[in-house]
Amino acid sequence: MLVLAAIAFLGAVGTLIRFHFGGYVHLTINRVFLEQSQFPWGTLAVNVVGSLLLGLLAGWAESGRLDTQTATVLGAGLCGSLTTLSAVTVDLAECVRDRRWGKLAVRLAANVVPGLTAVWLGLWLAE
């Protein structure tokens, strides 16, 4: 029961971080570029940070520096609520609906490539 409570607590923490950090990043980038960008910069930022963290946790668990249960609780609770695939897929679905194929390709690559890179970096740093 304690594990479920920890996952729920960390899920709440991750959600609040996603909301505030993601919003801050989006507004800051728009301010720097002096425009109201339609690109979801905040979503990209939280997904890359969450992917890096999950890569670190997985690497530490694999090497034995972090026990598997702790890595699972942190990964499911904090990283699971920090990252947001649903926001990415809604954005991509809108691109498909509007038949904006170039925009779809750019946004798909902009989310998948940095996310994979961040996980790889986390795994590498954990070694």
The pLDDT assigned to 29 comes to: 85
Answer yes or no: is pLDDT of 97 > 80: yes
Q: Is residue 10 a contact partner of residue 74, using CB atoms and an 8 Å limit?
A: yes
Q: Give the predicted TM-score (pTM) of the model.
A: 0.83
Answer yes or no: is pLDDT of 11 > 90: yes
Cβ density class 61-91: b for 16+ within 10 Å, e for less: beeeebeeeebbbbbbbbbbbbbbeebbeeb
| pLDDT, tens digit (0-9, with 9 covering 90-100), for 26-78 | 888 877 876 666 778 888 899 999 999 999 999 999 999 999 999 999 999 99
Answer yes or no: is pLDDT of 124 > 90: yes
